[in-house]
Structure 1
Amino acid sequence: MVDLLTAPPAQRDVRLSEKQERSIAHATARINLWTGSIRSGKTVSSLLCWLIYVANAPRGGDLVVTGKTFDTVARNVFAPLMNPAVTGPAASLIKYTRGAGTATILGRQIEVITANDVSAEARLRGMTCAGAYGDELTLLPEVFFDQLLGRMSVPGARFFGTSNPDNPNHWLRQRFLLRAAHLRLRHWHFTLDDNPGLDPEYVASIKREYVGLWYKRFIEGLWVVAEGAIFDAFDDRKHVVTKLPAIRRWLSLGIDYGTAHPFAAVMLALGADGRLYLTNEWRHDSVKARRRLSPVEYSHAVRNWLETLDAGEPIAPEYVLVDSAAADFRVQMAKDGLPNKPAKKDVVEGLRTMMSLIATDRLRIHSSCVGLLSEIPGYSWNAKAALEGRDEPIKAGDDSIDAARYAIYSTRSIWWSLLRRSDFSLAA
């Protein structure tokens, strides 16, 4: 096999930093971990190291690649492995089909096992592992990781894995990174400046995108706790408007369905000035109104509201995104002529996206969204969850925020390409 570190540029285009080469050369422990900021080069380093290991891995045991989902494994692991610019001629010797349970790397069969929840631990039982690679370890269940390490019983077996920083109380940091000296573990920390292949303009752009907690984690590569106000960059003098610009596209309507708590619908649009706007809001608080509405009544109310939003003219959002738990309501809306999709409910990622948009002044809110504007100032991180190693908001007074998050995060792939990129971008 071609030496991955010395292959000429015509065979491997990725230029490695001294730190990357050093980590690859010295990843000889039972557990080898690369952590740090996004786009810092840690994934390329770990994958090249894994590829070299597979070429010489002990026989008589399984080789495993794992990650949260098949999509993330395909995107984060096999896409770069199969890219000649990264692995040179070895790329032609790597075969994988997205969603498949096995792959082939340099003639060795690789078991691809996803770990989206604690039940995934059962998929490892009975295995005898000679080596494993893990993508985004902080997203894996702790019991799954323990089971995987326990299955690595072949003499000389090694584990290779990557992760962005998370809560400082996360099990990966507390049980492994802080105890590296007492374990057979080697750890390398990377920052954005450790990747020599990044365009300076991109680096500057991505540093503008992240703010607060996320800047410390994803740019500085620090394990810091989520605390205090979530939307700490929000300034009602700048982010609240009484007049909307011309609207280029009515992108989406996010709906958080409520019976015992308020029902909230929030509209997202793209303005002619290149910003996103949360333009309108409809709410029904059954407690204050002393009346609960049925799915039929809610559907009719939302439809009637949409008929008169734009100076008395009807609005047809490109997407209607609804809380996936509200199955009956979604069916009723479809019957009433409002096709809809279940919203993407990734809470932390959705909030990070909203925070970044606000911090870079690419999201503004119309003053008529009274419920949303009343919720934003008091929306805070859950201190108890932080002590347990989890990032969670306090689930109270967040109905319109949830609706806005559905509208924004579920359509990210659409509006990202529409925003002006001269001084703002969201990393893919």
Structure 2
Amino acid sequence: MSSGTLDIRHTSVFTRNLDAAQTPGVRIVVNQGGTRSSKTVSLVQLAIYLCLMEAGVLFSVVRETLPALKATVLRDLEEQLERLGLWKQVHHNKTDHLYTFSNGSQIEYFSIDDAQKVRGRKRHYLLANEANELRLEDWRQLIFRTERTLFLDFNPSEEFHWIYEEVIPRADCVFIQSTYRDNPFLPASIEEEIRLLEAADPNYWRIYGLGERGVAGTTIFTHWQQCALVPSQAQHRRYGLDFGYNHPTSLVEVSETPEARYWQQKLYQSKLTTPDLIEHLKLLIPNKRDTIYADHARPEIIEDIRRAGFTITEADKAVKAGIDDVKSKPLFVTADSVDLIKELRAYKWKTLRSGVILDEPVKVNDDAIDAGRYGTYSYTLQHKTNTPITVSQTFGTTRRR
């Protein structure tokens, strides 16, 4: 960055959001898009730009869970600040989840389960990342405390949502739709991965490939098939572990090839004590360096397993985001995973008597599915990478009076 200018490597999604933000009378900008359309990175770039435009600006970034936010938006923010030559470690207050610019403007980030922040101080701008994870009441509390523009981004994975009913119809709302085709900087290998979605699940391709509104259905996972064995070329082996006692404790091995993902049920048993479980793990996990992603509701069991020499960490339990990640690749389940297969066939979305299908699973007989989801989505968050954008355009950073 030189004095008075900022070279931003960007896609058209950034430009469209910047135009909307500078249009008089626009209060809300909704970004509906498919995967890798650059919508989140573009909005992070816009947050940086707006903070530099004026001293003392507060820009809030919110998502359903803090681990998901740190693995996605915060990582994007740090990368963009570094590329722009603006990153300074001393400006990042990790305790307060706050980055402060030299002119006094700030970007804060928090999750919606932090009620103090949701109902806290006023801000100038807001980015609700994966906004379809938020509840309507959360949205209302956030909008009440945002003075200028609110930006939402989401993958349109449900047919019925408060965003369609409460937000998009507003006269002061600008709607922006994008797909991976709006990001010309994606390498061919990533584009091919996205096109594989069409074979994985037609509705998933509609949402994440085409950026179009999903079509409701009651069965959640329709894209999986049985297989005899996990192929020898499958890599990145890890495990998801869901604790139970009256309910079964479930362990699912997760691995993948470039084309597909594989689940194999390893344990599905009730009435296990912690010593019992550790003995099972010794038999079922040959390499203790393979990561176990476990239900964080039982930290004491996690610690006991760690002391037994296993590599274990807390799983991210975001249900909707985890389901979407599982559906992002063709899924094969080994034929010996009897209980897991039974759960998959019965796993449904909740449906109201009116026929409206909710974006919430029926929480019955889902122990092995939860374990598979932990091992899938937590690994994705931990290993998420971004594709650099390599074209820049110079923007003025001095606001006209």
Which TM-score tier does this pair reach, normalised by the shorter chain? 0.7 to 0.9
Q: Secondary structure at the match of 1:392?
A: strand
Distance 1:78 1:159, change over 3 A: farther
> TM-score w.r.t. structure 2 length?
0.74
Distance 1:97 1:258, change over 3 A: same
Distance 1:54 1:216, change over 3 A: same
Q: Does 1:215 align with 2:205?
A: yes
Code of the aligned partner of 1:404: G
Q: What does residue 366 of structure 1 align with?
A: 334
Q: What does residue 158 of structure 1 align with?
A: 149
Q: Does 1:294 align with 2:273?
A: yes
Q: CA deviation at 1:144?
A: 4.1
How many residues align structurally? 374
> TM-score w.r.t. structure 1 length?
0.70
- Between the aligned partners of 1:48 and 1:385, the Cα distance in structure 2 is 44
* Contact 1:216–1:222, Cα closer than 8 Å, also in 2: yes
1:195 corresponds, among 180, 183, 195, to: 183
Q: CA deviation at 1:110?
A: 1.5
Q: CA deviation at 1:112?
A: 0.9
Distance 1:231 1:47, change over 3 A: closer
Q: What does residue 132 of structure 2 align with?
A: 138
- Between the aligned partners of 1:274 and 1:26, the Cα distance in structure 2 is 38
> Whose radius of gyration is greater, 1 or 2?
1
Q: Secondary structure at the match of 1:356?
A: coil
Q: What does residue 403 of structure 1 align with?
A: 371
Q: What does residue 149 of structure 1 align with?
A: 143
Q: What does residue 345 of structure 1 align with?
A: 317
- Between the aligned partners of 1:167 and 1:216, the Cα distance in structure 2 is 11
Code of the aligned partner of 1:75: R
Q: What does residue 252 of structure 1 align with?
A: 238
Q: Give ranges in structure 2 of 5+ residues lacking alignment.
A: 388-401
- Between the aligned partners of 1:413 and 1:204, the Cα distance in structure 2 is 21
Code of the aligned partner of 1:283: Y
1:180 corresponds, among 148, 170, 189, to: 170
* Contact 2:47–2:59, Cα closer than 8 Å, also in 1: no
CA displacement 1:356-379 (0-9 Å, x = unmatched): 33x2xxx54333222222222222
Code of the aligned partner of 2:154: S
Q: CA deviation at 1:175?
A: 0.8
Q: What does residue 80 of structure 1 align with?
A: 80
CA displacement 1:374-406 (0-9 Å, x = unmatched): 222222222349988853222222222222333
CA RMSD of aligned residues (A): 4.1
Q: CA deviation at 1:280?
A: 5.2
Q: What does residue 265 of structure 1 align with?
A: 251
Distance 1:106 1:384, change over 3 A: farther
Q: What does residue 232 of structure 1 align with?
A: 222
- Between the aligned partners of 2:49 and 2:240, the Cα distance in structure 1 is 47
Q: What does residue 399 of structure 2 align with?
A: none
Q: In terms of mean alpha carbon deviation, does 339-348 or 371-380 score higher?
A: 339-348
CA displacement 1:245-270 (0-9 Å, x = unmatched): 54787833433222222222233457
Q: Does 1:169 align with 2:160?
A: yes
* Contact 1:253–1:321, Cα closer than 8 Å, also in 2: yes
- Between the aligned partners of 2:126 and 2:315, the Cα distance in structure 1 is 34
* Contact 1:34–1:161, Cα closer than 8 Å, also in 2: yes
* Contact 2:264–2:334, Cα closer than 8 Å, also in 1: yes
Give runs of aligned pairs for residues 326-337 of structure 1, distance below 5 A.
Answer: 326-334=298-306, 336=308
Identity of aligned residues (%): 23
